[in-house]
Amino acid sequence: MQYRQLGHSSLKVSAIGLGTMTWGKQNTQAQGFEQMDVALAHGVNLFDTAEMYPVPAEADTCHETERIIGNWFAQHGKRDQVILATKAAGPGRHMQHIRQGPKLNREHLTAALEGSLTRLQTEVIDLYQIHWPARSANYFGRLNYTVNHDETLQQTEDGLREILTTLHDFIKAGKIRYYGVSNETPWGLMTYLRLANELGMPAPVSIQNPYSLLNRSFEVGLAEICHRENIGLLAYSPLAFGMLTGKYHQEATPEDARLTLFPNYQRYTGEAAKQATALYIEAAQKYGHSPTEQALQFVTQQPFVASNLVGATTIEQLQENINSINKPLSAEQLEELELIFKRYPNPAP
């Protein structure tokens, strides 16, 4: 396993990180335990979760993923071997079962953190993340930006100041070590950095956004910020909901697969994404990689990526994901991937 500094923090995270959002829905507690055992044995030290997991976000399973991880810590006593990351949910129409409608103010963030600490059975979170913005912004693949005329710049910045001061207090209290943002925009990340500097408070050390062969929008704006401001990307959906593994190729519907179980997840299933995926599969076969290995290694080898967050529902998938670290891509292969991308640029933003 490779290890990388997480932004300007003191944390060294594994280049492959363990995503957990299927535990409690597609995976049982026993399966989650097995995944954590296997991941840790292979040198994976970053476990990423969220208070709203598993997905899809539903009231009857909400928080279950954190509980599974907490139970594993309680039974195995390996908390000191794991860099633990979780997230606080922001407002959203499908989130009313969380804190009666989550907000990103001091009261709600305090309740969110205390709940996560209890479920995770730990005294401190290594990386606490804001799961998505509270303001009007484009994330989760949304296009066609709409101006909210009721939301002033002053209100927006005051909201971010409240988040920053609250997170700073969490750090001073020893309840979190560092914080990061997620599903954030270039404006949002730079505003966090500016306000933190103005307030004399710690800046975010990471950003967790989607990044894959089907969605390289992070390279426009955010990659430069990560480089110049020393922020680490925790890349999520590197396999584009499994599309880039090839298991949905030619309209296949494998049993118990995410897009089979939850067909409303259509972010990566458009026609252009399918055509691009077919070409990526051909390229992988040409150069002796599995489609999964190629897609993951493309993400992992990017200089702005601190950790590539993989999610799996089987141990076989997890092992292939982790072992992708040992499958470098040649310059010739990378050139071919660029040609495919130029033909189908960002087919699933």
CATH of the domain at 36: 3.20.20.100
- Helices and strands counted in the chain (H then E): 11, 10
Q: How high is the pLDDT of residue 301?
A: 97
**Structural domain boundaries, residue 25:** 3-242+298-328
Mean pLDDT across 58-71: 97
272 occurs within a structural domain? no
Band (257; pLDDT cuts 50, 70, 90):
low
Maximum CA pair distance of the chain? 54
- Could you tell me the pTM of the whole model? 0.95
218 occurs within a structural domain? yes
288 occurs within a structural domain? no
Specify the 3-state DSSP secondary structure of 209. Answer: strand
Amino acid occupying residue 224: E
Calculate the alpha carbon distances from 283 to 244, 330, 341 in Å: 12, 12, 12
Token readout for 345 is: 């640029």
Greater confidence, 164 or 270? 164
- Which residues participate in catalysis according to the annotation? 53
122 occurs within a structural domain? yes
Mean pLDDT across 195-222: 97
Distance CA 131, CA 49 (A): 10
H runs (alpha helix) in the chain: 29-41, 64-76, 106-120, 153-172, 186-199, 222-229, 258-261, 271-286, 291-300, 315-323, 331-343
Mean pLDDT across 195-201: 97
State residue 54 phi and psi, 5-degree precision: -85, 175
289 occurs within a structural domain? no
State residue 105 phi and psi, 5-degree precision: -115, 180
How many domains does the chain contain in total? 1
286 occurs within a structural domain? no
**What element of type H or E holds 348?**
none
**Statement: residue 249 has pLDDT above 90:** no
310 occurs within a structural domain? yes
**Statement: residue 49 has pLDDT above 90:** yes
Q: Are 39 and 18 in contact (CB under 8 A)?
A: yes
77 occurs within a structural domain? yes
Rounded CA Rg of the chain: 19
Kindly give the pairing relationship between strand 125-130 and strand 176-182: parallel
Q: How high is the pLDDT of residue 106?
A: 98
Distance CA 147, CA 137 (A): 9
Q: How high is the pLDDT of residue 324?
A: 97
Partnered with residue 307 across adjacent β-strands are: 234
Name the residue among 83, 81, 50, 80 with its Cα closest to residue 68: 50
Distance CA 181, CA 132 (A): 7
